[in-house]
């Protein structure tokens, strides 16, 4: 069939171990298997090529002949793939170890399935996240049918063994020169059929319901935290266990505070008079107002730390701090008298700029030196 190099087909080097060869074949065969690509002729041909390569490279004697003579050394020996003589080997001998866990080795598949896990996105305020709270959730999900108790069969009746697959859930299909196992088209892999379905769930065993849950949110949660509610997901099929519900936390933005882990940050505007002469500010915290003493000659952007006014993390540890950043606000909407006073103040401090405005004086000295050096 294929004249492409077997090692190249599997994407392995010539000194690859048996384990690496098997691993490469398994990965590619699962991708191109006819069951996963129904009606795709290219995938079917690719799968046959991969199977041919694996049969040769997994057999030490054939591998040695191929390494020495190439395709000429194994033509007519690869289970009939290359010689055109038909498939001579046992399907399970070649593929059983690779696909046994996919197809079940021809054994009966259990129709019992675990229910799906669900995710619920929960928005919280910063106060709710910091202090903890209790929330009522309305969660749409699939629940076990009360009428048939999840069996899918009408009360008084029961499911029957599928006559097509004999209850195995799979059938063996002949495709060209080899056979594969496929999900039974009659029972869809369950091994059973329901001749008289439940009228409430139409034979599915589950119905859509909206359930209301009360969930306790622990103090200190943050965006990205996830709370698992075991057994509150979707009901399993055919009596299978129920899945879980995961509550995904998202903390909304706060108009005053920004959160960074266990610490809080906020900006407080102050007048330039308070910044120059000092004073006291009322600073908000999550527990109420506190007094913050601002020393004289405070510059804009100065950061003050209020210890213990942050957040206690949900996973334990010390309480965080509140970081207060003061922003000096330039006065606006001045009347003529106020403007006159500011000009008088400017004139009074003009001669001592190096003393009253050291940063401004130093900056312009640096600018002057920069231009002098350029010339």
List, as residue ranges, the binding site. Answer: 145, 148, 162, 165, 184, 187, 198, 201
Number of H helices, E strands in the chain: 10, 15
> What's the rounded Cα separation, in Å, for the pair 17 and 14?
9
Give Cα separations from 178 to 23, 34, 125, 284, 347 (angstroms): 22, 12, 62, 77, 100
347 phi and psi angles, rounded to 5 deg? -65, -35
| Distance separating the N- and C-terminal Cα atoms of the chain | 81
**Number of Cβ atoms within 10 Å of the Cβ of 168:** 20
Residue 229 has a CB neighbour count (10 Å cut-off) of 16
**Consecutive H or E run containing 272:** helix 272-277
Backbone φ and ψ of 266, nearest 5° = -150, 155
CA–CA separation, 93 and 97 (whole Å): 8
Residue 296 in contact with residue 277, Cβ under 8 Å? yes
Strands 322-329 and 263-271: parallel
**Alpha-carbon distances of 87 from 4, 181, 289, 344, 365, rounded to whole Å:** 20, 16, 85, 105, 92
Query: Contact 124/224 with Cβ under 8 angstroms?
Result: no
Q: How far apart are CA 335 and CA 216, in angstroms?
A: 56
Nearest to 251 by CA among 133, 127, 118: 127
User: Known binding site for Zn(2+): residues?
Assistant: 145, 148, 162, 165, 184, 187, 198, 201
């Amino acid at each position: 069939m294929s004249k492409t190099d077997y090692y190249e087909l599997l994407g392995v080097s010539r000194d690859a171990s048996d384990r690496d060869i098997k691993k490469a074949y398994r990965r590619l065969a699962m991708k191109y298997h006819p069951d996963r690509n129904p009606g795709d002729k290219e995938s079917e041909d690719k799968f046959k090529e991969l199977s041919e390569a694996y049969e040769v490279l997994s057999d030490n004697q054939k591998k040695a002949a191929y390494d020495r003579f190439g395709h000429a050394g194994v033509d007519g020996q690869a289970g009939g793939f290359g010689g055109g003589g038909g498939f001579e080997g046992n399907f399970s001998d070649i593929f059983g170890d690779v696909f046994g866990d996919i197809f079940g080795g021809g054994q009966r598949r259990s129709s019992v399935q675990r229910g799906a896990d669900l995710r619920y996105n929960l928005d919280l305020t910063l106060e709710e996240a910091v202090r903890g709270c209790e929330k009522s959730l309305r969660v749409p999900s699939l629940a076990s049918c009360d009428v048939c108790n999840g069996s899918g069969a009408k009360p008084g009746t029961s499911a029957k063994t599928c006559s097509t697959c004999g209850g195995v859930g799979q059938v063996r299909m002949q495709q060209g020169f080899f056979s594969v196992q496929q999900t039974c088209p009659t029972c869809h892999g369950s091994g059973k059929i329901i001749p008289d379905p439940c009228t409430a769930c139409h034979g599915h065993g589950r119905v859509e319901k909206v359930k209301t849950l009360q969930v306790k949110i622990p103090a200190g949660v943050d965006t990205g935290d996830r709370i698992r509610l075991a057994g509150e997901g979707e009901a399993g099929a055919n009596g299978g266990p129920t899945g879980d519900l995961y509550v995904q936390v998202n903390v909304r933005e706060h108009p005053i505070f920004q959160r960074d882990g266990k610490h809080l940050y906020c900006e407080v505007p102050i007048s330039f008079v308070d910044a120059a002469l000092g004073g006291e500010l009322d600073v908000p915290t999550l527990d109420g107002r506190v007094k913050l003493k601002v020393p004289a000659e405070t510059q804009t952007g100065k950061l003050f730390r209020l210890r213990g006014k942050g957040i206690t993390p949900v996973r334990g540890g010390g309480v965080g701090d509140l970081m207060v950043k003061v922003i000096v606000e330039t006065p606006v909407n001045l009347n003529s008298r106020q403007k006159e006073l500011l000009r008088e103040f400017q004139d009074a401090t003009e001669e001592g700029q190096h003393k009253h405005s050291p940063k401004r004086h130093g900056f312009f000295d640096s600018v002057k030196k920069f231009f002098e050096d350029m010339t």
